[in-house]
Structure 1
Amino acid sequence: MWSAIVVLSLVGCAVAGPPVTRSRKDIEGFRAYLERSRTDDGLRLESRMLVSPKASAWENSGKFQGDILLNDEQADLLMQEYAGVGGRNAYIWPNTKWPSNTIVYDFNNEFTTAQINAIYAAMREITARTCIRFRRRTASDRNYVLVTGRSDGCYANVGYWASMGVHTLNLARAIPGQGCFTHTIIIHEWIHVIGFMHMHSTHNRDTYVRLLWQNMIPGMEYAFERYGTNVVHNMGLPYEYASNMHYDRFGFSRNGQPTMLPIFNDNNQMGQLQFVTGWDWLRVNRHYNCPGAWSTPINAEELSQGTYLHEYKGDEDAALEDQPQGVVVEDLPQEVLVADMPQDLEAEKVSVVEN
C-alpha cells in the first residue's frame, strides 16, 4: 500500500523548499484524491451512473481521472510532480511500452461467451489498425494483463510496468454494446494499457477547452489536471475533440451542467463513443514506432485548428502489409464457442489483482 509517510514528507518538503504554486491545502487535497482513486469504495458502476447519468461509464468508474488504475510508483511520481518536489521530470514514465509490441493477457473466468467475444472484437480491431499484437498468457509469464469483471466500473493500468507483474483491465459485466461493454469503451481501456492518458490531460488543453469549475463535484477538480510533454505526448498530432480518449462535457458534474466546453467548433463530437478516430490509431502507431506511422502527412492547417479525422488517411491495407513479421503472436479468434473455453481456469481473487 502507498505509504502515507512518503506523502506527508512530500508535503513537508514542498512547504520547506523552494516556492511552489501549490499550497499545503492543495497538496493534501491531491493526496486525498489519489488515495480515494486507489481505494475500493464498494459502489457499483450502476450507482455512480445514477448520480452522473450524462457522463460515460468509464468517467464514472471511481479511479484516477475516472478509469486509470494507478500503481504505487505512479502515485508517488504524480504526487512529487504536483508538490513540485524532485524537478520537472519527476514523473516521466520510461520504458512503459509493451516489449516486442506484444500485450500478454489472460481472462478471469467470470465472463459469458458473448462478453469474451466482445473483448476479442476490440482486440482484433487494435491488431488491424496498429502493430500492437496480443498473446495469451502462459505459465512462464510473470507480466501480463488480467481482464476482470468487477462491478465497480471500466478501468485499467496505463502502460507496461515490469515491477507490477499482474496489470489490470476491468470491465464491469454487461450486455455487449452496453455500459463497459460498449465497443469503443473496451478499446479505450486497451489504449490505456498500451500507454496513453486522456486527451484532456495534454499540455495544450486550455487552448481548446474551457473548464467550468463551479459545476464540478467538490474534490474532483484534480481529475482535470493537465500535464507537460514529459507525460502526455500528442505524437505530433493536433488536439482532438473527437478522440476516443477525450472526456465528454459532463464528466464529474455535480449539477448536471457541463464541466468542460469546446472553445472551437467540435461538431458535437467531444467525448463521443461511436468510433475510434484515425488520429487515435496514428498516435498509437507513432508511440510504438509502427512502420509508416511517422511518414503519414499531417496538414499544417489541421495542426493549428485542432480539427480531427473520422477515418485513417493512410493506406490501411499497405500499412498492414508492412507490419513486422517476426513477432510471435496468436491469431485472435473470430468467435469463441462455449466448448472452446478452457475448463480449468480458476477465477483470480480480487486481493491477488490488487496486490
Structure 2
Amino acid sequence: MRSRLPAALSLSVLLAACSTAPQDTPEAVTTPGGTVAAAAPDTRPATLILEDGTRQQVTGMVRDGYLLLEDDIILADLNSLTPQGTYVIDTRLRWTASTIPYTFASNVPQAIRDRVAQAAATISSTTNAVVKPRTTQSNYVQITYNTGTSCASGLGMTGGRQTITLADRCTTGSIIHEFGHTLGLFHEQTRPDRDQYVQILWNNIPADWQSQYQIRSGSKGYGAYDFDSIMHYPATFDGKLAIKPLDASIDINRMGQRNGYSPTDKANINFMYPR
C-alpha cells in the first residue's frame, strides 16, 4: 500500500502550444477525481526534468486558470505562468519543521475555510506533519477559491507562496488529498511498480486523459501497493473500469476513497517527515 515518493522534479518546458482561444463547450463527463470536466479539454505540453536530468514529456490540462497534471497537480498558474515544482526525495523540497503554514485569499467562502481547518486538524493529529495558519513564514500555501470544479495543489514545498485552489465541490477528504500532494505525494497508480498490481484499461480512458495515467519516471514506491490510499484514483472513469486490480479478490471500490489517509499514507508521510 504505498504512494510513490518521486525524485525531485521541476517544470521546464511549458505551454509549447498555448492558444487561449475559447472553445465550444463539449459534453461533460465525470473525471477520475469525481469532478465534471469537458470531454475535450484544453491541453498543453510540458516537460518534467527529474533530479538526475531525465526528462519526461507530459500533457497538462487547462482548467480554472491553472495547468494541471493528473487532474489536480498544479504545474503552473496561467495568470502568472509561474511554474510549480514537484517532488521531494530532494529534502530541500520538504516543508521546514514538517509544517505547512497556510493562509486564505480574501474571497474564500467560510464553508471552505471550515473544511480546510478540519483537514488541517486531521493531518496534524494523525501524522508527523503539521498544517496550521501562517504567521510570518516565508514559505506557505495560499488557499484560493475558484468558481469552477478544481481541487488542486502544487507538489512539495516549492518556495515562497504556492497555491491550493478549491471549489465548492471540494470535500474535507478532497482537501486532505490535496495537502498530500503539497507534502510531496504523487497519485498511487503512477508509481513505477504499479503494473505488478493493476492493469490500466486504456480503451476505457479518453485519449485526452491517457497521459494522466502515465507512470511518473524517477518516482519510487514505498511498501506494498496501496489500494486504500487517499492518493489513489477511483477504479472507474465515466462509469467504465479504468484501473483493474490483477488480484481478482480486490474490491475495486477500495480505490479512490477520500475519507482520510490510509495507514500506509500516514507511514509514508511520517517517513518523509520524521520526528
Q: Which residue of 2 aligns with 1:190?
A: 179
Q: Which residue of 2 aligns with 1:234?
A: 221
Residues 142, 54 of structure 1: alpha-carbon distance in 2 compared, 3 angstrom cutoff? closer
Q: Equivalents in 1 of 2:236, 2:92: separation in Å?
A: 34
Q: Deviations over 1:104-152 (max 9, x none)?
A: 21001223333211110110000001121234333x4332100011123
Contact 2:235 2:244 in 1 (8 A): yes
Q: Equivalents in 2 of 1:98, 1:282: separation in Å?
A: 17
Q: Equivalents in 2 of 1:59, 1:189: separation in Å?
A: 17
> Which of 28, 31, 45 lines up with 1:51 in the alignment?
28
Q: Which has the higher contact order (CA 8 A, sep 6+)?
A: 2
Contact 2:154 2:163 in 1 (8 A): yes
Q: Which residue of 2 aligns with 1:118?
A: 115
> Which of 241, 244, 260 lines up with 1:261 in the alignment?
244
Matched AA of 1:167: Q
Matched AA of 1:55: P
Q: Which residue of 1 aligns with 2:4?
A: none
Aligned-pair identity in percent equals: 25
Residues 186, 135 of structure 1: alpha-carbon distance in 2 compared, 3 angstrom cutoff? closer
Output aligned runs, 1:245-324, within 5 Å.
245-251=231-237, 256-264=239-247, 265-267=249-251, 268-290=253-275
> Which of 61, 64, 69 lines up with 1:64 in the alignment?
69
Q: Deviations over 1:177-232 (max 9, x none)?
A: xx21x22111000111111111011011001111111222223221111134x43x
Q: Which residue of 1 aligns with 2:199?
A: 210
Contact 2:190 2:214 in 1 (8 A): yes
Residues 249, 170 of structure 1: alpha-carbon distance in 2 compared, 3 angstrom cutoff? same
Q: Equivalents in 2 of 1:280, 1:112: separation in Å?
A: 29
Matched AA of 2:250: D
Q: Secondary structure at the match of 2:30?
A: coil
Q: Equivalents in 2 of 1:111, 1:145: separation in Å?
A: 14
Q: Secondary structure at the match of 1:285?
A: helix
Residues 113, 272 of structure 1: alpha-carbon distance in 2 compared, 3 angstrom cutoff? same
Q: Secondary structure at the match of 1:219?
A: helix
Contact 2:189 2:213 in 1 (8 A): yes
Q: Which residue of 2 aligns with 1:221?
A: 210
Q: Equivalents in 2 of 1:155, 1:197: separation in Å?
A: 12
Q: Deviations over 1:313-350 (max 9, x none)?
A: xxxxxxxxxxxxxxxxxxxxxxxxxxxxxxxxxxxxxx
Residues 115, 219 of structure 1: alpha-carbon distance in 2 compared, 3 angstrom cutoff? closer
> Which of 129, 143, 152 lines up with 1:147 in the alignment?
143
Residues 57, 280 of structure 1: alpha-carbon distance in 2 compared, 3 angstrom cutoff? same
Q: Secondary structure at the match of 1:243?
A: coil
Shift of 1:40: 8.3
Matched AA of 1:270: M
Correspondence 1:100 to 2:105: no
Structure-2-length-normalised TM-score: 0.71
Shift of 1:273: 2.6
Structure showing greater radius of gyration is 1
Matched AA of 1:151: T
Contact 1:57 1:154 in 2 (8 A): no
Contact 2:192 2:216 in 1 (8 A): yes
Shift of 1:280: 1.2
More strand by share: 2
Q: Secondary structure at the match of 1:126?
A: helix
Q: CA RMSD in A?
A: 3.2
Q: Equivalents in 2 of 1:41, 1:281: separation in Å?
A: 43
Gaps of 5+ in 2: 1-11, 38-60, 77-81
Shift of 1:154: 0.3
More helix by share: 1
Deviates more, 1:97-106 or 1:59-68: 59-68
Matched AA of 1:203: P
Matched AA of 1:148: T
Output aligned runs, 1:29-40, within 5 Å.
none
Structure-1-length-normalised TM-score: 0.56
Shift of 1:51: 2.1
Correspondence 1:129 to 2:126: yes
Q: Equivalents in 1 of 2:205, 2:108: separation in Å?
A: 34
Q: Equivalents in 1 of 2:174, 2:234: separation in Å?
A: 13
Residues 246, 42 of structure 1: alpha-carbon distance in 2 compared, 3 angstrom cutoff? farther
